[in-house]
Structure 1
Amino acid sequence: MAMIQGERRDTFLSIRRALRGRCPNCGQGRLFATYLRQVDRCAVCGEAWGELRADDAPPWLTILIVGHLVAPLALALVRYGSMPDWAITALLVTVSLALCLLVLPRAKGLFLAAIWASRARSS
Structure 2
Amino acid sequence: MFIRSMLRGLKGRCPACGEGKLFWRYLKVEPRCGECGHDLAKYPADDGPAYFTILIVGHLIVGPLLFFPIIWEAPTAIVLPATLIPLAIATLLLLPVVKGWFIGLLYALKIKNNDAAIHTSDIAD
The ranges of structure 1 where at least 4 consecutive aligned residues each deviate by more than 6 angstroms after the TM superposition are none
Give the TM-score normalised by the residue count of structure 1.
0.83
Aligned equivalent of 2:112: 121
**What amino acid maps onto 1:15 in structure 2?**
M
Question: 2:61 matched to 1:70?
Answer: yes
Aligned equivalent of 2:122: none
Aligned equivalent of 1:37: 28
**What amino acid maps onto 1:16 in structure 2?**
L
Give 1:55 shift: 1.4
How many corresponding residue pairs? 113
Structure with more relative contact order (C-alpha pairs < 8 Å, separation 6 or more): 2
Aligned equivalent of 1:50: 41
What pairs with 1:1-123 in structure 2 (closer than 5 Å)?
10-77=1-68, 79-80=69-70, 83-123=74-114
Between the aligned partners of 1:72 and 1:52, the Cα distance in structure 2 is 32
Between the aligned partners of 1:111 and 1:72, the Cα distance in structure 2 is 24
Q: After superposition, give the CA deviation of every residue in 1:31-59 in whole Å (9 maximum; x if it has no partner).
A: 00101010011001111101211111011
**What amino acid maps onto 1:45 in structure 2?**
C
**Structure 1, gaps ≥5 residues long:** 1-9
- Measured on the aligned residues, the alpha-carbon RMSD in Å equals 1.6
Give 1:75 shift: 1.2
Q: After superposition, give the CA deviation of every residue in 1:1-47 in whole Å (9 maximum; x if it has no partner).
A: xxxxxxxxx11011111101111111111000101010011001111
**Structure 2, gaps ≥5 residues long:** 115-125
Between the aligned partners of 1:72 and 1:119, the Cα distance in structure 2 is 34
**Partner-residue secondary structure (3-state), 1:98:** helix
Between the aligned partners of 1:90 and 1:80, the Cα distance in structure 2 is 14
Between the aligned partners of 2:16 and 2:75, the Cα distance in structure 1 is 50
Between the aligned partners of 1:58 and 1:25, the Cα distance in structure 2 is 19
Give the TM-score normalised by the residue count of structure 2.
0.82
